[in-house]
Amino acid sequence: MDKYAKEVGKKLIELSDEEREPFVTGYMPFNHCCLKMLKCDSCYVCGEETPWLDRKHGIYLCDDECMKIADCRYESGEHFNT
């Protein structure tokens, strides 16, 4: 998906749900905000390898705790570089 985003000149967060769909293998139960991707990457918060991509921020997250931490950081003004 990273390669596709670069090919179309967008950041991961800018891809629409339709553009992400070919890479999705399932949906994450926590808040239904994450998509299970074919490729794993490091969790933005803890660094653990994970296939779960948060649709809101365009970052990889491994569980609900990391999602809460990322949401707090975002609300505090942190911008995610994806």
- Enumerate residues 6+ apart whose C-beta is below 8 A from 17: 55
Determine how many CB atoms are found less than 10 A away from the CB of residue 49.
10
Task: Please count the other Cβ atoms lying within 10 Å of the Cβ belonging to residue 52.
Answer: 23
Q: pLDDT tens for residues 3-52? A: 888 889 998 878 888 888 888 766 666 657 888 899 999 999 999 999 99
pLDDT score at 28: 60
The pLDDT, as a whole number, for residue 16 is: 85
Asked if 3 and 18 count as a contact pair (C-beta separation under 8 A), the reply is: no
Domain extent listing, the chain: 2-75
Residue labelled with tokens 């779960």: 52
* Model confidence pLDDT, tens digit, residues 45-82: 999 999 999 888 889 999 989 988 998 898 899 888 65
pTM attached to this predicted model = 0.64
Rounded to 5°, the CA angle 70-76-79 comes to 65
Q: What is the pLDDT of residue 30?
A: 63
